[in-house]
């Protein structure tokens, strides 16, 4: 009975540590997933865009991806402007779509939070010149300023589509 109890205790402990993710690992997975989601979404916007403009006031917007429908004419057109901004610890994607049908424009704006764990404005950066892809750097930090702080950083290079 004593030997069986020891074996069951060891097996139970092993299952506990295998099946239950420790909080530190859970935070690391959250940071990695949030970072991956933000970069994937920005890359989706970038490969559909024809141009990128760095924000003129970086503390308002990091930059803008712009795209226009290939069959655009003055009477019927769809344009999209996607920008990214820092908002109280969050990286926010703002999409403004202007659809013109029979010379009548309709504007729609949507906001989406890409990351909720951006500690400082400088934890996100966009860099671009006309001879290279758009470079995006993001650092996601959970539990900032504590002994359990978890930070994950990644970089993505984004090539845009050609202009029509």
Q: What is the pLDDT of residue 35?
A: 94
Does the structure show a pLDDT above 80 at 42? yes
Write down the pLDDT at residue 103.
79
Comparing CA positions, the residue from 61, 26, 31 lying closest to residue 144 is 31
For residue 144, pLDDT over 70 is answered with yes
Residue 19: pLDDT above 90? no
Binned at pLDDT 50, 70 and 90, residue 163 comes out as low
- Residue length of the chain: 164
- Residue ranges of the domains in the chain? 21-158
Out of 24-28, 68-72, 133-137, least confident range: 68-72
Strand partners, 124: 138
Task: Check: CB of residue 98 under 8 Å from CB of residue 78.
Answer: yes
pTM score: 0.80
Looking at per-residue confidence, does 17 or 154 come out higher? 154
% the chain with pLDDT above 70: 89
Tokens describing residue 163: 């202009």
Q: Report the mean per-residue pLDDT for the chain.
A: 86
The three-state (H, E, C) secondary structure of the chain, written as one string: CHHHHHHHHHHHHHHHHHHCCCHHHHHHHHHHHHHHHHHHHHHHHHHHCCEEEECCCCCCCCEEEEEECCCCCCCCEEEEEEEEEECCCCEEEEEEEEEEECCEEEEEEEEEEEECCCCCHHHEEEECCCCCCEEEEEEEEECCCCCCCEEEEEEEEECCCCCC
**pLDDT at res. 52:** 92
């Amino acid at each position: 009975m004593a030997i069986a109890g020891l074996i069951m205790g060891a097996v139970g402990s092993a299952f506990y540590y295998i099946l239950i993710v420790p909080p530190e690992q859970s935070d690391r997975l959250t940071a990695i997933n949030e970072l991956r989601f933000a970069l994937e979404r920005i890359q989706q916007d970038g490969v559909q865009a024809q141009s990128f403009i760095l924000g003129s006031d970086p503390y308002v917007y990091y930059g803008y991806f712009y795209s226009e429908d290939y069959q655009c004419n003055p009477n019927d057109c769809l344009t999209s402007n996607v920008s990214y901004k820092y908002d109280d610890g969050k990286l926010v994607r703002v999409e403004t779509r202007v659809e013109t049908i029979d010379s009548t424009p309709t504007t729609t704006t949507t906001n989406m939070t890409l990351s909720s764990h951006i500690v400082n404005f400088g934890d996100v950066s966009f860099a671009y010149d006309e001879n290279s892809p758009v470079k995006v750097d993001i650092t996601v930090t959970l539990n900032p300023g504590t002994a359990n702080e978890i930070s994950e950083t990644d970089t993505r290079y984004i090539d845009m589509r050609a202009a029509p």
